[in-house]
A = this chain, B = another copy of it.
Amino acid sequence: MYCYLNGDIIPTEQGSLQLNDLSLLRGYGMFDYFRTYNGVPFEFDSYWQRFTKSAAMMRLPVAISKTDAEAILAELYQRVQQPDIAYRFILTGGYSPDSVSMIQPNLIIKAENLPKDNPEGRTRGIKVMPFEFVRDMPEIKTTNYLHMIRLAHEMQAQGAADLMYHKDGLVSELTRSNFFIFKGNTLVTPNANILHGITRRVVLELAEEAFAVEIRPLHVQELAEATEAFTTSSTKWVMPIVQIGRQKIGDGKPGKNSLRLLERFDEKVAGYGK
């Protein structure tokens, strides 16, 4: 695999950061992540916009333009020689002389293998574990994933694929993906304390054609009334959720409306860039 690191394209295993980077010392970093379909970066305009907006909120200058970024993505794609890949942008606070001051960010763009697909998850649905938490600055894709990593064993022990964050009675999101429920033919997804996922937006656009859509605070108690639930991300697409903690959703199987959205999403990406 290859990556871009502050101006150079190099084999990823040769890349490294010094021990005074603020991501290591102070957790000061952000990232974005997306994939190609048919070799074309999916919805790159949206990802670039989110990345640069988040960078500005973290006061991190981005040293390259969108055109530069597109050229880097194209070169990485050519080197990797795979039909489809994922890209990870990482921007850190950079090397600090005193473990506090920011001088110049470090910018990394990694080409990565696509994560192992989970077709069984889509057929059978996944279980998630409720966890009381709300991300700090949820609209920014910071690199703070403390609980996801820390609670990996508990999740495994419970057969859960992820955490579902809730706080003050409101559901927000999973650790790396957005959350939706169906009440009959009405789709509901939280409006606040979330990362505004690109796949979320695409799925909402697809949903509007067939369902009533409510983007609003989602109360934990409403989960009991959900007939279906699912989560969306760039690599999970529309992933049915059939159990939240001890609570079964609907009949405990992926719901027909969720599967219909998954089908529509499949169609969209199958032809993407062609």
Q: Which residues of A contact B (CB under 8 A)?
A: 3, 5, 12-13, 15-29, 31, 57-59, 88, 90, 92-93, 98-102, 108, 110, 112, 115, 133, 136-137, 142-146, 148-150, 152-153
Contacts and interface: CB of A to CB of B under 8 A. Distances in A.
A19 B17 contact: yes
Contact of A149 (B31, B88, B102, B136): B102
Task: With a 10 A CB-CB cut-off, give which of A3, A98, A145 has the most chain B CB atoms.
Answer: A145
| Integer count of this chain's copies in the complex | 2
A31 B23 contact: no
Majority-rule SS of A interface residues: mixed
Contacts of A24: 17, 21, 23-24, 29, 90, 92, 143
Contact of A19 (B16, B28, B98, B115): B16
28 contacts: A12-B20, A15-B19, A16-B19, A17-B17, A21-B24, A22-B149, A23-B23, A23-B27, A24-B24, A25-B31, A25-B143, A26-B143, A26-B146, A27-B27, A28-B145, A58-B150, A88-B99, A93-B149, A98-B115, A99-B112, A100-B148, A100-B149, A101-B152, A133-B136, A136-B144, A136-B146, A144-B144, A144-B146
